[in-house]
Chains A and B, each alone.
Chain A
Amino acid sequence: MSEELHDVRLRVNGASYDLRVPARRLLSDALRHDLGLTGTHVGCEHGVCGACTVLLDGAPVRACLMLAVSAQDQEVTTVEGLGNADGSLSNVQQGFAECHGLQCGFCTPGFLTTITAGLRDNPTPTHEECRDMIAGNLCRCTGYQNIVKAVERAAELGLETPEDGS
């Protein structure tokens, strides 16, 4: 017996993909294995670590807790879609590079998407708000000190650079 497949159109980072997947295929697995967008990582598959965080219509969600079929008609943004059109790093990515906000890099995509959404909603966070913004993501390497700094630096850079990249 083989599984029933469902047609779903995913819009990821501005591009459309037509997939035929079983109902139980997780969004994280669809992104990684069906679309080859392996930047979204799976750390726990139970929604706690946040490594799989993507933006769904701009809001952070755990891709490991979603079925691919339920992302139909929604805009998905993964880490691969955060950089600027010319290939340069976004303010959030740049903040991480300058502040040594990553070590092994495995949790990083989840932080980047979360913070991108967080700074979009609050471009001038206080120190406490910066800590709060990342309080739902696990990192085992950095001990968070430099991630907090990266958020603060990203906010600074975000205020320096206009949104339209001009």
Chain B
Amino acid sequence: MTTKLMGQGVQRVEDQRFLRGQGRYVDDVAVDPATLHAAVLRSPHAHARIVDIDVDAVLDLEGVHAVWTHEDLTGPMAEPLPLLIPHPALTHGRTQYALARDEVNYAGEAVAFVVADDRYLAEDALDRIRVTYDVLAPVVGIDAARAADRLVHDDVPGNVGARMEQGTGDAQAAIAKAPHRLELDLTVERSACTPLEGRGTVARWDPDSNRMQVWTSTQSSTGVRAVVAVKLGLDLGQVDVITPDVGGGFGVKINHPWPEELLVPLAARTLGRTVKFTEDRREHFVSSAHERGQVQHIEVGFDDDGRLLGLDVEFWHDHGAYTPYGLIVPIITSTQLLGPYKPEVYRVVFESLYTNTVMVTPYRGAGRPQGCFAMERTMDAIAAYLGKDRAEVRATNFIQPDEFPYDQGLIFQDGRELEYDSGDYPASLEKIKALVGWDDFPAFQKEMAAVGRKVGIGLACYVEGTGVGPYEGAHVHIETTGKVKVATGLTTQGQGHATVFAQLVADELGVRFEDVEVVTGDTRRMPYAVGTFASRAAVMSGSAIHLAARRAKEKVLKIAADALEAAEEDLQIVDGVVSVKGSPGTALDLGTVSVLSNPLRYAFDEASKAATQFSVGDPGKPPVPEDEEPGLEGRDFYSPERATFASGMHAVIVETDPDTAEITILKYAVVHDCGRLINPMIVEGQIHGGVAQGVAGALYERMAYDENGQLQNASFMDFLMPYVTEVPDGIDIDHLETPSPLNPLGIKGAGEAGVIPSAAVFAAAIEDAERIPITAMPISPSELFHLRQEHTP
């Protein structure tokens, strides 16, 4: 009996190349003196009209092959980049041009594109381009956007890109009737994904086959392929997009196309050379995407137990200068704000606003952290008001285990009903309380206070809709060597997909893990795909791969049954060998089954002789039976009716220094439920990473824009990414598994879990330590210091 790999912490196959420095990231592709390199001239102004672009001084440089501005773009390339996710509420969506046409709307916007023999020369050329701007006063910050003294886009009144409302009834009336009422005003500041590897694209145009090959550091290979084809006037079939190894994405690489993702292929075709663009760190800060910035106003009505009778949330979302990703982030905030709770009546309305800053597209959590912050601060406020335990108030509002599936009465980010399929929130709460020592904490707090130390504890709960559609697909091919080649179209940025998916195939097919090879994000291998985001890979591709492997297995058994003259139900596949159960002598290895699956005229090696026309087959029947195909392949797709809902709870104990206001983490506990785990080691790694980003977002990271729309901390020196010293020394993790009823393996997503409740949990803990209301995140020691001063009588 082989041990199933599902649920095992199998060591990763990817590590073998990464540890040897043999990963192939986009800048490692086409390392060749003949490759040309691109650089982009970016606007130094947040808002300006372009008057003139003078490239005369570039002529004196050697090694410059092209300098393009918007005028050099024709046809679809001259039009704005696509608005990826339209929505009826997005009445005033705007996207940028591949190169700015007459106006720039954020500092960092692409104005000119240079191609040269190497990056150094390309940057020399950038320095010599003289752009004359007519500088305009920018709109920076949500307050300025709302005031609308100035507009970002002349044809967008009030800087409002969208206004959207959803609800289950008259929340205001419910609040008015409620025994108790509270109002909260909260702020979450902007942050960003900042993966260690920035963006990059390499393209080759092959004139012999009339094909465009693009390597790009993306989260959606099929998305980039479609838009490159359209913009360059190519057939989809002429474009291949290969996702190389990607050094982190966290959401920022789901947006596409970046201007460079179009300009590089265009340059490759125009110049007849391989062209490469990789951004530097500063470019990533000022020309990729940010997220998180919101201002929120909450009104809530509740009873003596803290039950939510009416919840009315209004928020303002800063989406930067353009809206290529539509309204996904604020829609997620609106819907996931509800968390594990069931308010009697809920209404949410938001305005998504333009500012002259870098655009906003999803960052791990994608709007959930903001929603969780709003709800959890509200829960804490209710508990404080009623003098009740914060865990108890939450428990009172939980959807109960027997209430699933629970329809929240809203439309989710996938356009489908927000219906929670499964979960057990009371059980999670018991676990987190035990893990962090919730009930013992008040005594601990008193003990510490007695020796002059301030400690506080926070708790936050979240729900995460994972595995959104429309679908993912998989292809499984068993070759005549017995090796299994698997492809799925979504992409990988460190989640260990090649390992996790190989585990699934090994289990379903009965082959050795080592004999399975998985490829992701290559449109040549699987051209139907959506992408990696919303913690969907395990659910979507995992399910598709499982189903495809099952189809392949069905074919194996059919062919083997025929060859072994046995019944299919009597067969088993173990370590790549098909045998009759209990009769180990009668066996056929998968490679042979593969040979038999493809009737041949021409043998190509010893093994294949067995499949040639004089060796096998019934002369009275067609060699390939009707409704069958040659070869040993399985292909299938998984397309669920709705997302599946993971959940979790975090708790943190912090200490604040009475003098310096430094914030130290004493304990960090996580209980999470992502259904059944394929590889627990990898899931824990995801939680660790998410918690680190959460800690950073709560205490350290913000985008510091000045009133001129200049990003003042566009480097790792000033944007405070955490080192090991900033994360807790050890995270206590406990699991709960409520399998998803929506997919065959019962999986839910885990990728974003670690980061969702962080702002909430830290605000709660600091407030508990300080007894000062914390309404804005992130909070640094100096901010805490000033808050203390403000609240000293």
Asked if A and B form a direct contact in the complex, defined as CB atoms under 8 angstroms apart, the reply is yes
Contact A141 B494 (CB under 8 A): yes
* Cβ contact of B194, chosen from A80, A93, A140, cutoff 8 A: A140
Expressed in whole angstroms, the Cα–Cα distance for A102 and B247 within the complex equals 11
Expressed in whole angstroms, the Cα–Cα distance for A140 and B62 within the complex equals 39
Question: Which residues of A in the span 64-111 have a Cβ within 8 Å of any Cβ on B?
Answer: 78-80, 83, 89, 93, 96-98, 100, 102-109
Q: B752 to chain A: closest CB distance in Å?
A: 13
Q: Provide the B111-140 mask, 1 if CB < 8 A to any CB of A, else 0.
A: 000000011100000000000000000000
Q: Provide the A1-44 mask, 1 if CB < 8 A to any CB of B, else 0.
A: 11000000000000000000010110001001100111111111
Expressed in whole angstroms, the Cα–Cα distance for A81 and B327 within the complex equals 48
Q: A85 to chain B: closest CB distance in Å?
A: 13
Q: A161 to chain B: closest CB distance in Å?
A: 16
Q: Provide the B664-697 mask, 1 if CB < 8 A to any CB of A, else 0.
A: 0000000000000000011011011111110000
Contact B12 A97 (CB under 8 A): yes
In the complex, what residues of B have CB within 8 A of residue A107's CB? Answer: 196, 247
Q: Provide the B701-729 mask, 1 if CB < 8 A to any CB of A, else 0.
A: 00000000000000111000101110101
A119 in contact (CB, < 8 A): no
Q: Are A103 and B197 CB-contacts (below 8 A) given A41-B247, A96-B19?
A: no
Q: B22 to chain A: closest CB distance in Å?
A: 7
Q: Are A131 and B120 CB-contacts (below 8 A) given A43-B281, A46-B716, A105-B23?
A: no
B472 in contact (CB, < 8 A): no
Expressed in whole angstroms, the Cα–Cα distance for A51 and B729 within the complex equals 22
Contact A78 B21 (CB under 8 A): yes
Residues of B within 8 A of A (CB): 9, 11-12, 14-16, 18-25, 27-28, 31, 60-63, 118-120, 193-197, 245-248, 250, 280-281, 493-496, 681-682, 684-685, 687-693, 715-717, 721, 723-725, 727, 729-731, 754
In the complex, what residues of B have CB within 8 A of residue A24's CB? Answer: 120
Of all chain A residues, which has the CB nearest B124?
A: A3
* Cβ contact of A39, chosen from B21, B60, B193, B494, cutoff 8 A: B21
Chain B binding surface SS class: loop
In the complex, what residues of B have CB within 8 A of residue A146's CB? Answer: 685, 688
In the complex, what residues of A have CB within 8 A of residue B716's CB? Answer: 44, 46, 48-49, 138
Of all chain B residues, which has the CB nearest A48?
A: B716
* Cβ contact of B688, chosen from A96, A136, A142, cutoff 8 A: A142
Expressed in whole angstroms, the Cα–Cα distance for A148 and B25 within the complex equals 25
Q: B194 to chain A: closest CB distance in Å?
A: 6
Of all chain B residues, which has the CB nearest A105?
A: B18
Expressed in whole angstroms, the Cα–Cα distance for A76 and B250 within the complex equals 33
Contact A44 B715 (CB under 8 A): yes
Expressed in whole angstroms, the Cα–Cα distance for A98 and B19 within the complex equals 12
Residues of A within 8 A of B (CB): 1-2, 22, 24-25, 29, 32-33, 36-46, 48-49, 51, 78-80, 83, 89, 93, 96-98, 100, 102-109, 112, 127, 131, 134-148
Of all chain B residues, which has the CB nearest A98?
A: B11
In the complex, what residues of B have CB within 8 A of residue A39's CB? Answer: 20-23
* Cβ contact of A104, chosen from B28, B61, B196, cutoff 8 A: B196
In the complex, what residues of B have CB within 8 A of residue A139's CB? Answer: 196
* Cβ contact of A140, chosen from B281, B687, B689, B729, cutoff 8 A: B689
Contact A100 B689 (CB under 8 A): no
In the complex, what residues of B have CB within 8 A of residue A33's CB? Answer: 31, 118
Contact B12 A100 (CB under 8 A): yes
Q: A107 to chain B: closest CB distance in Å?
A: 5
Contact B31 A105 (CB under 8 A): no
Expressed in whole angstroms, the Cα–Cα distance for A107 and B722 within the complex equals 14
Contact B197 A41 (CB under 8 A): yes
Contact A106 B247 (CB under 8 A): yes
Q: A71 to chain B: closest CB distance in Å?
A: 18
Contact A37 B21 (CB under 8 A): yes
Q: B254 to chain A: closest CB distance in Å?
A: 15
Q: Are A36 and B725 CB-contacts (below 8 A) given A46-B716, A104-B247, A143-B754?
A: no
In the complex, what residues of B have CB within 8 A of residue A106's CB? Answer: 23, 25, 195-197, 247-248
Q: A19 to chain B: closest CB distance in Å?
A: 12
7 contacts between A and B (CB under 8 A): A32-B27, A44-B281, A102-B18, A106-B196, A131-B729, A137-B723, A142-B688
Expressed in whole angstroms, the Cα–Cα distance for A104 and B24 within the complex equals 11
Expressed in whole angstroms, the Cα–Cα distance for A141 and B691 within the complex equals 10
Expressed in whole angstroms, the Cα–Cα distance for A83 and B493 within the complex equals 24
Contact A48 B20 (CB under 8 A): no
Of all chain B residues, which has the CB nearest A109?
A: B21
Of all chain A residues, which has the CB nearest B20?
A: A83
Expressed in whole angstroms, the Cα–Cα distance for A32 and B16 within the complex equals 20
In the complex, what residues of A have CB within 8 A of residue B21's CB? Answer: 37-40, 78-80, 109
In the complex, what residues of A have CB within 8 A of residue B248's CB? Answer: 103-104, 106, 140-141
In the complex, what residues of B have CB within 8 A of residue A105's CB? Answer: 14-15, 18-19, 23, 245, 247, 494
Contact B27 A136 (CB under 8 A): no
Contact A45 B281 (CB under 8 A): yes
Contact A104 B493 (CB under 8 A): yes
Q: A141-B248, A143-B687, A144-B723 are in contact. List 15 more A-B contacts (CB 8 A).
A: A1-B60, A1-B61, A32-B28, A44-B715, A48-B717, A100-B9, A100-B11, A104-B196, A104-B246, A104-B248, A112-B19, A134-B724, A135-B723, A140-B248, A140-B692
In the complex, what residues of A have CB within 8 A of residue B246's CB? Answer: 104
In the complex, what residues of B have CB within 8 A of residue A147's CB? Answer: 724
Expressed in whole angstroms, the Cα–Cα distance for A109 and B28 within the complex equals 14
In the complex, what residues of A have CB within 8 A of residue B727's CB? Answer: 143-145
Contact B689 A97 (CB under 8 A): no
In the complex, what residues of A have CB within 8 A of residue B18's CB? Answer: 102, 105, 108
In the complex, what residues of A have CB within 8 A of residue B19's CB? Answer: 79, 89, 93, 96-97, 102, 105, 108, 112
Contact B31 A38 (CB under 8 A): yes
In the complex, what residues of B have CB within 8 A of residue A78's CB? Answer: 21
Contact B31 A103 (CB under 8 A): no
In the complex, what residues of A have CB within 8 A of residue B31's CB? Answer: 32-33, 36, 38
Q: B187 to chain A: closest CB distance in Å?
A: 25
Expressed in whole angstroms, the Cα–Cα distance for A12 and B495 within the complex equals 32
Q: B733 to chain A: closest CB distance in Å?
A: 10
In the complex, what residues of A have CB within 8 A of residue B25's CB? Answer: 38, 41, 106
Expressed in whole angstroms, the Cα–Cα distance for A118 and B730 within the complex equals 22
Contact B724 A144 (CB under 8 A): yes
* Cβ contact of B281, chosen from A46, A93, A127, A134, cutoff 8 A: A46
Expressed in whole angstroms, the Cα–Cα distance for A25 and B120 within the complex equals 8
Contact B27 A38 (CB under 8 A): yes
Contact A43 B724 (CB under 8 A): no
Contact B20 A2 (CB under 8 A): no
